[in-house]
Structure 1
Amino acid sequence: MAYPPPSPPPPPPAAPPKSRNGLLIGLLVAGVVAVVMLSACGIGGFLLYREYDDSGEAGNGSSSGAEIEDLINYRKTSPAALSQSHITSPITYPMTPPAGGPHFGDWQNCVGDVYTAPIVDGNAVHSLEHGAVWITHKPGLGASDVESLAAKVRGQAYMMMSPYPGQSSPISLQAWGYQLAVDSADDDRIDEFIRQFRQTATMEPGATCAAGITTTTG
């Protein structure tokens, strides 16, 4: 007896159409994600803007130091004096001690060095370009004050100290583009200056303070 051929299997059921509510939920989720991403970008842009100092420079993280009383900000008042060009002969700087400007090709070693004799301006300024804070004092400053200053320098990277004949104040602090004169080693502004400008005032982020020269003029 012959049997008829088997019938083909029925087609699979069609997928149910997406509901209108499901589509709206998907669009809503995508919108929320977009808003979150845009907000994050906005916050990131704001934080990047905050990295700019008052002079409009970015990338070196430097504070303007506006809260340090009597701070001189040459980045604002005398930006033309802060050329980073290299020189081969000594020059006269517009501030004493110098706080930036043209300098020699060799930098002064500034890894906690306490120099007991004056150092060459052109080498010291190169160290400032690398991010050093340079503490100077009048020759003849009291031994206790000298030791107090030295204690802030020894063992600290991007720090150096030396006597500076001819400066008007007993103590002066220099970073690239910034200067502060004080009368006593006990002045709280010394620590604040160091905190704000050590390494952060650099014009060459990542530049070393080691392997510099250690010669003095005395």
Structure 2
Amino acid sequence: MTGAYPEPPPYGAPQPQGQQPPPPPVSPYGPPVDSGYPPPGQQMPPQAQYGPPPGQYGPPQYGPPPGSYPPPPYVAGAPAQKGNRGVVIALSVVGVLGLLCVAGVVAAFYFVGKEREGGPSQASGEISGVIDYRLTHPDWLEREHLADGEKPEYRMVPAAGGRHFGNWQRCLGDVYSAPVVEGRAVHSLEHGAVWITYQPSLAKSDVDKLAGKVRNNDFMLMSPYDGQPSPISLQAWGYQLPLDKADDPRVDQFIKKYRETASLEPGTPCSNGLAD
């Protein structure tokens, strides 16, 4: 009906004072949908910012972590750091081994020199009192064979090497009660025998002791010898040991060391020699 109700002012127009604006028209399709835009005259609220939280991500930072100490500067001659300990230990071990090798070489030369001088040498197991003609007079130890009837001359008494006859004295543990031909006994020494000689005036008890060390032992022979300077004398090729008593422990030491080992013809037997 015209004039029953006044015509409402347009939406958004200023309203007369003392009057409330009429409610917005109701849509038959339901309440209005929020478009996300602010009403006229208001600003858009701030939007969410995408990206890493402040202080968590960013380009990698190189160098020591904040607050740590910088590495010490290199100084020539400074002690090795902990990481070089293995190298230092290895170099120390090599140095010690080198010193030990040098000491061993020096000791070897020392003992060899003492042995050539005729002094004691524990390294070679030298027996006290042994005369080593191989070192002192190798020219006395000629190996030439003599014809029967020739008379060999020796510079040591009894002979411990030198020119000799082609036949040797049997040395299968033989104990001769009379002197033997010296040139034959020297040939036995060349085969590796030990020849024990004694003055004819030696006490029978000492003779028996020596005989007990000779009998039934290959590469051994024993006989009296007129004119030798010591009561007892032991000979191997190039070696000699003068003694006074048969119970001297060096008798066994000499036999053990030089019997067969002093041979210049290893493997040559003492059998088939002359026994007269």
**Alignment counterpart, residue 159 of structure 2, candidates 89, 98, 123:** 98
Partner residue in 1 for 2:270? 209
Larger Rg: 2
Partner residue in 2 for 1:181? 242
| Alignment partners' CA distance in 2, 1:92 and 1:66 | 31
The answer to whether structure 1 residue 71 and structure 2 residue 112 are counterparts is no
**Alignment counterpart, residue 140 of structure 2, candidates 81, 84, 93:** 81
Per-residue deviation, 1:126: 0.2
The answer to whether structure 1 residue 171 and structure 2 residue 228 are counterparts is no
Partner residue in 1 for 2:190? 129
Percentage of matched positions with identical amino acids: 56
Deviations 1:110-145 (A, max 9, x none): 000000000011000000000000000000210000
User: Aligned letter for 2:190?
Assistant: E
Matches within 5 A, 1:41-56: none
Partner residue in 2 for 1:142? 203
Partner residue in 1 for 2:176? 115
User: Aligned letter for 1:85?
Assistant: E
DSSP 3-state at the match of 1:136? strand
DSSP 3-state at the match of 1:152? helix
8 Å CA contact 1:114, 1:154 repeated in 2 = yes
Report the structure, 1 or 2, having the larger helix content. 1
DSSP 3-state at the match of 1:146? helix
| Alignment partners' CA distance in 2, 1:90 and 1:149 | 29
Q: TM-score, normalised by structure 2?
A: 0.54
Which deviates more, 76-85 or 64-73? Answer: 64-73
Could you list the runs of 5+ residues in structure 1 that have no partner in the other structure? Answer: 1-52, 55-63
| Alignment partners' CA distance in 2, 1:162 and 1:122 | 14
| Alignment partners' CA distance in 1, 2:257 and 2:138 | 20
8 Å CA contact 1:65, 1:71 repeated in 2 = no
Could you list the runs of 5+ residues in structure 2 that have no partner in the other structure? Answer: 1-111, 114-122
8 Å CA contact 1:65, 1:196 repeated in 2 = no
Per-residue deviation, 1:90: 1.4
Report the CA distance shift for 1:65/1:152 in structure 2 as closer, same or farther (over 3 A): farther
| Alignment partners' CA distance in 1, 2:126 and 2:237 | 17
DSSP 3-state at the match of 1:214? coil
User: Aligned letter for 1:80?
Assistant: D
Poorly superposed stretches of 4+, deviation over 6 Å: none
User: Aligned letter for 2:203?
Assistant: G
User: Aligned letter for 1:201?
Assistant: A
User: Aligned letter for 2:274?
Assistant: I
DSSP 3-state at the match of 1:150? helix
Matched residues, number = 154
User: Aligned letter for 1:75?
Assistant: R
Q: Which has the higher contact order (CA 8 A, sep 6+)?
A: 1
Q: TM-score, normalised by structure 1?
A: 0.69
